[in-house]
Structure 1
Amino acid sequence: MNRLHKLLFIVLACSAQQALGGTIINGREVPPNSLPYMASVQHNGEHICGGFLIKKDIVLTAAHCDIKELTVVLGTNDLRKVKKTMRYHVKKCKHADFDNSSLANDIMTLKLSSPSQIEPIQLPNGKMKIKNNTPCRVAGWGSIMSGGPGVEKLRDVDVATIDRRICKQRWATLPAKTICAGGYPTNKGFCQGDSGGPLVCNTMAVGIVSYTGNTCDYPHLPNVYTDITKFLPWINDPKAKCKIA
């Protein structure tokens, strides 16, 4: 695990029995040129989080990924093949009500320095209800085992949504406006070090990778995502309030 991944993990693990999410456990390598909306959120050229393109000039990611100056890489599934034209400077807007302790409202937009030519992923409408056990998938460049190093080629894994009542039994402090999918009671999902990627159900991005248990390849806790449907007015408001610091 690299230095920034360790930092993301240690900050939260010391305050709660949670780990920042995003590494792909028991998944598979994604074919080249697929999932074009996937973004690598980077600091000093180093991948720290996932993200995804929702408009030609907007990437969505997790608010807890806000570490110093960030850039975004689009247009490649292989982080060894990043070209200068694939990298964008960004303007950050972290949700004004983001809470770093509970990870409530864990959402952030990154406005690109110039529009991308890549096709964004579709978002749901505000009336969409995600049923229990809906088949979905999550992708990222994180490690393939708990505590392991990240990968250079994008990977994804199939997961299913979990009844919120069951999720609250496992996570007593589960924030509002979240979705649970993967992890408990399977050994598939995400892990610490690479948050911000999308939970994709029915070809739409419905969630943002937020957090899971410290031991990611043991199925004792559900994976938790920010529920995008609850934040659509904020996402679409060009004058949305942003959290400072």
Structure 2
Amino acid sequence: KTKCETFFHVFLLSLGSDIINGKKANEKLMLYMASVQNNKGHHVCGGFLIDESFVLTAAHCDENVVLGTHNLKKVDDSMRYNVTRCKHPSYVIFNLHFDILCLQLSKKAQLNKRVKPVPLIKAEIKIKEKAKCHVAGWGSTETGGKTDNVLRDVDVPIVNLEDCKKEWAQPPNGVNLPANVICAGGYGTKNGFCQGDSGGPLVCDRKAVGVVSFNMRKNCDYPNVPNVYTNISKYLPWIKKILNNPRLTHD
């Protein structure tokens, strides 16, 4: 595809997610969830704590981070953290390749009964088709709906990657998926994500395996095409490098 075609397809896609057909999350679980917010304190994206100093999210997200709440109306200054961006060196704006970003917190998160990191998948292990995973986020629960301040989560099955690529390439979509992705939910189910919460984690067997990236044309009336996540296992060496020496990769 030409550069113009690539940009055109990106704008057809929906960057971000809110949880569709999910339920309110248990406040004792998913303590790794982060709200990535703009400088006005408005929720923009999801994210997740991977150690006491770093939150992982999507590359098109930034600004500040809130940890330690399931309800965005119940946030105080002690939960807010300024951040430094550590983006993948190959990421280019409006390009969905390398859609992953580390945010270094301005101070170490206080790990407690409200805040706890999630383990990452440890190797490039192929996740079985139809394996039950889950995704969480804040926001609307239907296409064009209002956002929800309470964290919600939903189970989503893994979709075979080759099948996913074929579905996305079908007319009228005609989209060639970027490399290093995982597909789960959306296609063939009533569960998945929508607009407003890119960067949240896809969790399988209690480990983060993907980062919410995009769906198609803001359409949350599933089934359509599968939801797409950045595959964390493909970026483990880069993530390890940042955690060991973050100054090497600051913007």
- TM-score normalised by the chain length of structure 2: 0.87
| Matching residue of 2:35 | 40
Q: Secondary structure at the match of 2:121?
A: coil
Deviation at 1:15, TM superposition (A): 4.6
Amino acid paired to 1:86: M
User: Is 1:143 aligned with 2:140?
Assistant: yes
Measured in 1, the distance between the counterparts of 2:8 and 2:72 equals 27
Deviation at 1:74, TM superposition (A): 0.4
Equivalent residue runs for 1:55-66 within 5 Å: 55-66=51-62
| Matching residue of 1:121 | 118
Q: Quick check: 1:98–1:243 contact (8 Å CA) kept in 2?
A: no
Distance 1:100 1:80, change over 3 A: same
Task: Tell me the alpha carbon deviations over residues 199-219 of structure 1, each in whole angstroms, 9 at most, x when there is no partner.
Answer: 000000000000001211231
Q: Quick check: 1:33–1:77 contact (8 Å CA) kept in 2?
A: no
Deviation at 1:127, TM superposition (A): 3.5
User: Is 1:95 aligned with 2:88?
Assistant: yes
Task: Tell me the alpha carbon deviations over residues 124-181 of structure 1, each in whole angstroms, 9 at most, x when there is no partner.
Answer: 1124221111100000002100121211100000000000111001223111100000
Task: Tell me the alpha carbon deviations over residues 41-62 of structure 1, each in whole angstroms, 9 at most, x when there is no partner.
Answer: 0012100000000011100000
Select the residue among 226, 230, 234 that pairs with 1:230. Answer: 234
Amino acid paired to 2:15: L
Q: Give 5+ residue unaligned stretches, structure 2.
A: 1-6, 170-175
Q: Quick check: 1:13–1:19 contact (8 Å CA) kept in 2?
A: no
Measured in 2, the distance between the counterparts of 1:31 and 1:15 equals 34
Amino acid paired to 1:60: L
Distance 1:170 1:77, change over 3 A: same
- TM-score normalised by the chain length of structure 1: 0.89
Equivalent residue runs for 1:165-244 within 5 Å: 165-172=162-169, 173-214=176-217, 215-238=219-242, 239=245, 242=249, 244=251
Q: Secondary structure at the match of 2:119?
A: coil
Q: Quick check: 2:85–2:250 contact (8 Å CA) kept in 1?
A: no
Select the residue among 46, 52, 56 that pairs with 1:50. Answer: 46
Q: Quick check: 1:38–1:50 contact (8 Å CA) kept in 2?
A: yes
Q: Secondary structure at the match of 1:212?
A: strand
Q: Quick check: 1:33–1:76 contact (8 Å CA) kept in 2?
A: no
Q: Quick check: 2:10–2:96 contact (8 Å CA) kept in 1?
A: no
Larger Rg over CA atoms: 2
Indicate the RMSD between aligned Cα atoms, in angstroms: 1.7
User: Is 1:23 aligned with 2:26?
Assistant: no
Select the residue among 58, 64, 68 that pairs with 1:71. Answer: 64
